[in-house]
Amino acid sequence: ETGVTQTPRHLVMGMTNKKSLKCEQHLGHNAMYWYKQSAKKPLELMFVYSLEERVENNSVPSRFSPECPNSSHLFLHLHTLQPEDSALYLCASSQGFSYEQYFGPGTRLTVT
């Protein structure tokens, strides 16, 4: 598959569960991003990785833990989430200084 892929597309988890979201980009980019899109809020930047190093943590609670093992893969590890964490989580990538970010389809997360 081309572009930016995300798995799973839908996830339902309890507050005590641990799960991970996966993002993969097939574009040769060197920067990757996690965004949160809630129903009543603008798209919010969570994390930025550049060349596999985290360069931005936008005051995200520690129950969200990102991991970038290489420039093509990005994970978001989730544990002890709250119902208000239910949202669409979008991954994006870009090349260098370009602000043109390529988005994945998102993972719809529901915390029960």
Partner 1 sequence: AQRVTQPEKLLSVFKGAPVELKCNYSYSGSPELFWYVQYSRQRLQLLLRHISRESIKGFTADLNKGETSFHLKKPFAQEEDSAMYYCALSGRAGGTSYGKLTFGQGTILTVHP
Shortest separation between residue 11's beta carbon and partner 1, angstroms: 18
C-beta of residue 86 within 8 angstroms of C-beta of residue 109: yes
The binder of partner 1 chosen from 74, 78, 81, 90 (CB under 8 A): 90
HSE, CB side, 13 Å, CA atoms: give it for residue 76. 32
Residue 45 interacts with partner 1 (CB under 8 A): yes or no: yes
Site for partner 1 in 12-31 (CB under 8 A): 31
CA 65 – CA 81 distance, rounded (Å): 11
Binding site for partner 1 (CB under 8 A): 3-4, 31, 41-45, 48, 50, 55-56, 90, 94, 96-105
